[in-house]
Chains A and B, each alone.
Chain A
Amino acid sequence: MLQKLEELKKEFRESVEGLTDKNSLAKFKSDYLGKKGKLNDILKGMRSATTDVKKSVGAAANEFKQEIQESLVKQLAKIEIDEINSQLKKSWQDVTLTDDVQVKGLQASGYHPVTLIQREIEDIFISMGFDILDGPHIEDDFHNFEALNIPATHPARDMQDTFWFTDMAHLLRTHTSCIQVRGMEAHEPPFKFVGPGKVFRCEATDASHEMAFHQLEGMMVGKDISVANLIYFMKTLLSEIFRKDVNVRLRPGFFPFVEPGFELDIECLICGGTGCKVCKQSGWVELLPCGMVHPNVLRAGGIDPEQWNGFAFGLGLDRLVMMRYHIDDIRHLHSGDLRFVEQFKAY
């Protein structure tokens, strides 16, 4: 009997893996385990067997039963997976055919590089407690010149620098310093704010000159603000912008709206101050104009220069953009050419 059992086991093991659908599996199960199934067929002789035989055959039969059941469950799972997978195979798609490899897909999307840099710098100022202000592009003589202590005869008012409108009283702002004036009009000291934006100069354009470009004006007004404060502040700010410790130096520079006025140089980031092509061997690169706000400017903004003073500075954003991305021609910035802006894609 044991031998028959062994033979049956062998037969089962050989045929179970050939089952490929649920129906034949069900039939197969009843063939073996059903009342008139092959196992019961063998066990029919059990009644007449000895106790010992009963014991050993019974145990073997139970073991076999269990094996059959487990095998069938396993086989059923396999059949199901195979069925689903063959379904999936029908809905196969090419997962390498993504948007980025196709001509017909949409172009990438992203911010303009000036926006990228401007935001970065605005965020630094926000973190330092500055407000971010704005103002109109079309300005009047007062906000662009007079309030900034630029007298009527000053060369900056010439037609070769300033875009004038036909009434000769309005103009396109030539600097973001107008935002200073508007900021002073709107705020009570002490205050600190920056004003980023587009400015315009009437000059012929080439790879490094634009008639429309971007500046960021900054101003801090309080009690007893000093040159020492200005130096400290600029050093902190520029270290954050360039993400490394920078050295700065001030030298005399003349701008009507500040007194004393400075040109701020930054120790060359390329050579570290030892002298190279970029800094013309001097170790320093001229970066921005700054200075202590001229009392006439404070007065024009409705602030008493006897009580308050402060510093102001201007930063050219386009130059930072050009430096960061090694852009060869400033005219790309306003070109509206998607092949240009696409290179600064956000994702």
Chain B
Amino acid sequence: MNISINWIKDYVDLPDDITLGELGTRFTLATCEVEGVETTGEHLKAVKIVEITEIEQHPDADRLNLVTFNTGEEQRRVVCGAPNVAVGKKVPFASIGTTLPGGFTLVPKKIRGIASEGMLCAEDELGLGEAHDGLLILDDDAQIGMSLADYLGTESDIVFEIDNKSITHRPDLWGHYGMAREFAAVFGRPLKDVFSKEWREGLKALYTDEEPPVTITVEEDSCCLGFTGISMENVTVKPSPQWMQDRLSTCGMRPINNIVDISNYVMLETGMPNHIYDRDTIKGGEIIVRRMGEDGVFVTLDEQERNMIATDTMVCDKERISGIGGIMGGLDSSIKDSTSRIFLESANWRDSEVRKTSVRLGLRTDASQRYEKSLDTNLLEQSLLRLVELLKESCPEAVVVGPMQKTAMQPTPELKITCSADRIARVLGETVAAERIVEILESLDFKVTVDGDVLIVDVPSYRATKDIEFEADIIEEIGRVIGYDNITPVSPINLAETTRLSDAKQMQRKIQDYMVFHARALEVMTYPMIGKKLLEQASWPIKNEKLTLVNALAPELSRMRPSMVPTLLEKAAQNQKNFNSFRFFEMGRSYESLEGQAYSKDRYQLGVVFFDKTGSPFLDLLNVMKPLMNFLNLKAQFEPANEKYPNPVMPAEWSGVHPHEYLNIKVMGKNCGIVNTVHPIITRQFKIKGNVAVAIFDITDFMDREIKDKTKYTALPKFPSSKFDCTVVADAQTPVSDILRVMNKLKVKEAEGVKILDVFKMSEEQKTVTIRTTFLDREKTLSPEVLREAEDKVVATLKKAGFPLKV
């Protein structure tokens, strides 16, 4: 919103000993954000009136002329393309160095080889209107050499551009008078009481006893919070005076005619929107405010058809609709050049409903954005009187007909807040004297009653609609006016206590560290949303329909992912273009849809992808995942798929499970992860040319527990151990784990450990496996007899299990 400082000065004298910049900064720190400070109309002082004396065709351009003119002091020449140039015409001239609206500064330049000494201007170039079909032609009697500012009678102004976001909670700041009150409080200046009781009474004297030509009916269930109206006659539609046009332009509104301009002016002044009807269009002499009742179309002032729904509140007459309550009037009832009888409306509407309708229609107007902020019904009469006052000023012959109509008024409830200087000092951390507190509050129009240490604060109704609610709001008023930068920073008292990362956070960090430094993987982040298409591409059987977003940005982000696997596959497919092999991981989440009380559960998961164009990276991944469990002090098992024990991170029906390269990760007796080479049937669907191994590890169920370090130290053996290697024959596709399992059943108490020393493929059918068994007796040196017996037992056990010694 733009604030005109000229306008503010109508109500309060601003300090003249500080710069504009400082003025803006202090206002920003105390009230709301001043985004920019601009001076308007400066260029109009530099633009002079000249008379065209000669026109020649540009030698190198058909459409351009060389226009010579008299500035009152000398003859000058510019290159000009305007079609309406004519000798003898008076036009505005901007010389080199002039900065025009839009920040465009004229510099010396040649146009098609001929130097141009400035510019003859059209209306839009001067910021005076929108016309650009030719030069602005001035009256024939305009004085040559006079500045355009003097000719038009415009004043230069200073504009504060206020960030609307910073005043969303302050309905009182959406008009100049409310802003002026802030300037007065912040700079300690008196505010002119322009809407005094006397002023009010003076205007009320204009009411007559005649029967009001228009009566008002407000249906109870509508969203109207109060409706005032009055009729006037004998008005003349004509242009507004220049000062009013200037102020409206400064605030970004286009001057139209005196009636419309006054309507806008009062809104910009009081912050309360209003509406002026051509009274002859009100059928049946009655305004009826009611719900739409049924869906229908309504044409608004801007000639757009609007789709209204049954619950929208409309302003109607006996026959038809004339406006959308709190948003915009209709085309039919608007002011025409011939209008002489008018009806003035000043009404209030419920914030949330105005907002809902305006958002639905995509129609945000100056009125609706004010009503959204919760306006004060108590101000309706004042703004209606102000309309009357300005209309009388503009059309002294105009008269009021009948008294003011007032109905359905829901006054803002009185609000008193109790506070104390001590409490304020404790919350701000800075002592402010009680007298100063009272002074600040009174400058903001609060009434304060001092009762010992207690301050009883009466909140002005226009701040009590939503903005001010309780003590902390009062404290804020004090804080911002004394200036937060005047508060001395003080360290909070720190208790002696220890802190450390939570168990869950530590586990997540350890996993990330491990993946970076041990697994040599890159960490990525991906969207936790997913589309149905990707789930289908990955043949993922769970679709998470319940966790679908109503307003997803795109179909591919329509729901929460039931698993990280499809996303990881998609990312693998994308990255294969740039790398022959890669490893990446995400410490992310997937989302489980639940039935009953709980709606869903975020599952904290590690997802890992190892990709290689040529070989299978499965073992590499497994060799990373296995030690990860030890690193996290977790006891885990890696086991083949088993129908009896379903895995929550891996639906049994998924076709991406590899026939041999698949293992469940089991922690604390529960499946919570997988290591899997993605079946080619799936990678093919992603056009992945290579091998993808993926691991998922879900830590949700145990991450909050303290995981104890269960490492146990065993004293180093005092006696030597003995190693025994033997080589057995096995089927080529028998996993070594089968052999190790046999060895685990070995009943030799001296056997300390069994490991595979070597595997050698003899043929397509057979391989040899060399097994190393370590024997140790912690009490004594092993005797050759004991050793021999133990070794024989090893060989016999293996043979019995179908693994004979290689001969």
Contact = CB atoms under 8 A, between A and B. Distances in A.
Interface of A: 103-104, 106-112, 114-115, 119, 122, 126, 129-134, 136-138, 140, 153, 155, 158-160, 163-170, 172, 190, 198, 202, 204-205, 211-212, 220, 222, 224-229, 231-233, 235-236, 249-254, 259-263, 282, 292, 294-295, 309, 333-334, 336-339, 341-342, 345-347
21 contacts: A108-B522, A126-B500, A126-B501, A131-B499, A137-B602, A138-B602, A166-B546, A166-B548, A172-B549, A225-B492, A227-B429, A227-B484, A228-B487, A228-B488, A233-B492, A260-B480, A292-B427, A338-B522, A341-B584, A346-B517, A347-B517
Contact of A336 (B484, B525, B528, B581): B525
A334 B526 contact: yes
B631 interface: no
Nearest 3 Cβ contacts at the A-B interface: A228-B429, A226-B429, A260-B476
B519 interface: yes
Contacts of B502: 131-134
B276 interface: no
Given A136-B601, A337-B574, A346-B517, 13 more contacts: A134-B505, A137-B589, A138-B600, A159-B550, A164-B551, A166-B546, A220-B492, A251-B28, A260-B473, A263-B166, A292-B427, A334-B527, A338-B522
The CB with the most chain A CB atoms within 10 A, among B500, B504, B517, B524, is that of B524
B656 to A, nearest CB: 19
Contact of A229 (B429, B473, B524, B584): B429
Contact of B524 (A112, A129, A155, A166): A112
A220 B169 CA distance: 25
B599 A170 contact: yes
B479 interface: yes
Contact of A228 (B470, B490, B509): B490
B523 A228 contact: no
Contacts of B560: 137-138
A227 B479 contact: yes
B28 A202 contact: no
B633 interface: no
Contacts of A166: 546, 548-550
Contacts of A134: 502, 504-505
B473 A259 contact: yes
Contacts of B359: 158, 160
A282 B484 CA distance: 18
The CB with the most chain B CB atoms within 10 A, among A134, A164, A225, is that of A134
B430 interface: yes
Given A110-B516, A346-B516, A129 B497 contact: yes
Contacts of B488: 228
Q: Interface residues of B toward A: which range?
A: 35 or more
Interface of B: 25, 28-33, 166, 168-170, 351-352, 355, 359, 372, 426-430, 470, 472-473, 475-476, 479-480, 484-485, 487-495, 497, 499-502, 504-505, 509, 512, 515-517, 519-528, 546-553, 557, 560, 567, 570-571, 574-575, 578-584, 586-587, 589, 591, 599-602
B735 to A, nearest CB: 27
Nearest to B505: A132
Contacts of A140: 599
Contacts of B515: 109
Contacts of B472: 259-260, 292, 294-295
A222 B499 contact: no
A126 B500 CA distance: 6
B571 A336 contact: yes
B228 to A, nearest CB: 25
A292 B480 CA distance: 14
B505 A212 contact: no
B522 A254 contact: no
B550 A254 contact: no
Given A166-B546, A222-B492, A130 B499 contact: yes
B575 A338 contact: yes
Contacts of A155: 168, 355, 372
A41 to B, nearest CB: 56
Contact of B480 (A163, A225, A226, A252): A252
Given A106-B583, A226-B426, A231-B487, A212 B476 contact: no
Contacts of A159: 550-551
B780 to A, nearest CB: 43
B527 A212 contact: yes
Contacts of A249: 29, 484-485
A341 B523 contact: yes
Given A111-B516, A164-B550, A336-B524, A252 B428 contact: no
A109 B516 contact: yes
B582 A107 contact: yes
B490 A112 contact: no
Contacts of A104: 580-581
A114 B525 contact: yes
A99 to B, nearest CB: 10
B112 to A, nearest CB: 36
